């Protein structure tokens, strides 16, 4: 009997289109059509690219604090680049959107998961490293399934 080992990763990672515009005073200003709260800049194109992901993650905090649905990422236009969010943050955004869509508050999720409200607070904190099993449990509690695929 042969056993196979499967390495899996999330198939759906969030990538948002960003516009890198040259600034008249030098450097580049980065904006996101889908996430207007995310604006940053860099002296060089490389610095602007590095700052873009951080600005996008920081903007996500506004959506979490307000319990607002994060808009879906649109396709990049010819003059834009896609900025990818880390997989752990992508999963938490998908969970937030599901909770908002179903009208589930963090306290409701805690009850459904049979955990203390503080645990849900940590799950919904973008800077907290949440175990994938915990995220899968949270998705299950909102009648969704977190699936991982190798692509």
Do residues 100 and 67 touch, judged by C-beta distance below 8 A?
yes
Q: State the Rg of the chain over Cα.
A: 18
Whole-number Å distance between alpha carbons of 29 and 46: 12
* 10 pLDDT more than 50: no
Rounded to two decimals, the pTM is: 0.87
For residue range 95-145, list pLDDT tens digits in order.
Answer: 999 999 999 999 999 999 999 999 999 999 999 999 999 999 999 999 999
Phi, psi of 125 (to 5 degrees): -85, 115
3 state DSSP class of 74: coil
Domains of the chain as residue ranges with CATH:
14-84 (3.30.160.250), 87-149 (1.10.260)
* 1 pLDDT more than 70: no
């Amino acid at each position: 009997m042969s056993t196979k080992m499967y390495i899996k990763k999330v198939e759906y990672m969030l990538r948002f289109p960003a516009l890198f515009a040259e600034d008249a005073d030098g450097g580049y200003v980065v904006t996101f059509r889908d996430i207007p709260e995310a604006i940053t800049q860099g002296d060089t194109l490389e610095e602007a690219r590095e700052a873009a992901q951080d600005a996008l993650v920081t903007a996500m905090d506004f959506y979490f604090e307000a319990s607002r649905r994060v808009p879906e990422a649109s396709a990049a236009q010819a003059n834009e680049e896609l900025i990818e969010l880390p997989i752990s943050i992508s999963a938490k955004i998908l969970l937030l959107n599901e909770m908002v869509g179903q009208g589930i508050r963090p306290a409701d999720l805690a009850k459904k998961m049979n955990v203390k409200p503080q645990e849900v607070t940590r799950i919904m904190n973008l800077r907290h490293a949440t175990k994938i099993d915990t995220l899968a449990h949270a998705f299950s509690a909102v009648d969704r399934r977190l699936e991982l695929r190798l692509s």
